[in-house]
Structure 1
């Protein structure tokens, strides 16, 4: 199968072959790795299981990072959900709790799936699991969603970056949300073009988002950015399924994200030398974790 090098080519191939994004990703993996479909499905099933565990653990008990900077928020959100007093409804609050749970598990050195990075590990699981539950889908259907996300991820990786050190948080949480939104659109019956519209909208919404980890740890403000990324993905999927498209195509939006990322000053690209990391509170938290430093 021809390998797509852009979003435009990806849509063209899917139209020519009359296949979905997930099917494109599966066929590509089968050919490149010379493995069977059954093997790929089993492997992705194992990935889904790890995602579900990470998205659940912090909701069942308070999980704290080794630094102590974050923890217990997923449990608080779950308790709030159980109270029945939420403004936005059960599905959204559950997605929020799932997203932050994975981030807390990551900070505690637990097992997560870096999708596409550890810093953005909560977005895709929260979105896929929430959408799957809301749509009444099986694990196999959610696995298809993960493959759809990977098809979008392949194009991002070829043409831009996932690294906060290179492109800011827009490249980490932005890419994760773009992949997740596109996956949910497919899960809801949308076309590959609609999925890429969703991904494009995500990038436009987070353009310029900086990477400014307090104390250099993937905890503050990263965990809560996973929450916003998950909600951004779910709301954008609904927007696209309602018939809203992106006036700026995916390839242009991706190119803009990459160029903006490269244009960010060093202080705003994972160095912990800018943004909230150097606020008085950010500095105090760093000192709390590492003790007094010369910086």
Structure 2
């Protein structure tokens, strides 16, 4: 198990293999499986993401009634040409909302790395593949890259909002997606590391304050921020911009910040947006 991005890059250079291969080799060793078995497992996970995106139900609402149909609204606005962000980012936004809504509506998703942040990676990956023609094989390799970054974050900090706030969920997903997108564009470990660091830095301190304690408001829309943030971080890294703070130190900072956050904004549903007058009213209204 890798505990630092620096160590992955060290292996990448020492063994002269790509970043994703370092992660696959580690997966095979840790789970005692062949490279073929590992690759098939990861490929199937990506296929489930694509199926979940395809099976979005634009008429379905969550039990609370707080979530549903917003993915369709974005799709309709994009197709009308009403989104100032354009078609590509529009698709990413749309997919991020759709996947997060599907999670709230109890549909099948891939927790990547968590259910609350399940829309970030699929939104970026599926749209990139659709737009630029990457093969499923290349997307699977990108999944390894994302998994490797997530593994390091989990080792050094948190992935759960209850432990570190939403920076641990949306922040981690965004960091994973940014690094993987850089890989798809031909970036090496250093570029991947810079993208991951830049993405996480932008979301440090993000509270986890679900209204009524449900992973719906503001969680679904935060998947959009995480996905778009991943693309901007990837672009910066691809342009040659370096994070002045290396990713491992950024993840350590996320851990420190997470431990410093009040419990009320770590998925308890007591503080932040959940404690606003409207948030309290919603909780009373939908109390199960």
Same fold (TM over 0.5): yes
Q: What aligned pairs does 1:37-76 form with structure 2 within 5 A after superposition?
A: 37-58=35-56, 61-76=58-73
Contact 1:55 1:99 in 2 (8 A): no
Alignment TM-score, normalising by the size of structure 2: 0.97
Q: What aligned pairs does 1:263-282 form with structure 2 within 5 A after superposition?
A: 263-282=260-279
* Partner residue in 1 for 2:224: 227
One of 235, 241, 248 as aligned partner of 1:251: 248
Contact 2:2 2:148 in 1 (8 A): no
* Partner residue in 1 for 2:121: 124
Cα deviation code 1:249-274 (max 9, x no counterpart): 11111111110000000111110110
Q: Matches of 2:52 and 2:239 in 1, distance apart?
A: 31
* Partner residue in 2 for 1:13: 11
**Residue 25 of structure 1 pairs with residue 26 of structure 2:** no
Contact 2:48 2:109 in 1 (8 A): yes
Q: Matches of 1:6 and 1:274 in 2, distance apart?
A: 33
Q: Matches of 1:251 and 1:207 in 2, distance apart?
A: 14
Contact 2:61 2:68 in 1 (8 A): yes
1:183, distance to aligned residue in structure 2 (A): 0.4
1:21, distance to aligned residue in structure 2 (A): 2.0
Q: Matches of 1:62 and 1:246 in 2, distance apart?
A: 42
Tell me whether 266-275 or 130-139 shows the greater mean CA deviation: 130-139
Aligned-partner SS, 2:55: helix
Q: Matches of 2:70 and 2:76 in 1, distance apart?
A: 10
**Residue 173 of structure 1 pairs with residue 141 of structure 2:** no
User: Structure 2: 5+ residue runs without aligned partners?
Assistant: none
Aligned-partner SS, 1:206: coil
1:18, distance to aligned residue in structure 2 (A): 1.5
Q: Matches of 1:229 and 1:150 in 2, distance apart?
A: 16
**Residue 207 of structure 1 pairs with residue 207 of structure 2:** no
Count of matched residue positions in the alignment of Structure 1 and Structure 2? 288
Q: What aligned pairs does 1:138-217 form with structure 2 within 5 A after superposition?
A: 138-217=135-214
Contact 2:68 2:101 in 1 (8 A): yes
**Residue 137 of structure 1 pairs with residue 134 of structure 2:** yes
Contact 1:56 1:98 in 2 (8 A): no
Q: Matches of 1:271 and 1:280 in 2, distance apart?
A: 17
Alignment TM-score, normalising by the size of structure 1: 0.94
Q: Matches of 1:233 and 1:260 in 2, distance apart?
A: 21
Cα deviation code 1:108-142 (max 9, x no counterpart): 11111111111001001111112222221011111
Q: Matches of 1:283 and 1:29 in 2, distance apart?
A: 45
Runs of 4+ aligned structure 1 residues displaced above 4 Å come to none
Q: Matches of 1:41 and 1:83 in 2, distance apart?
A: 39
Calculate the aligned-residue CA RMSD, in Å.
Answer: 1.3
User: Structure 1: 5+ residue runs without aligned partners?
Assistant: none
**Residue 284 of structure 1 pairs with residue 264 of structure 2:** no
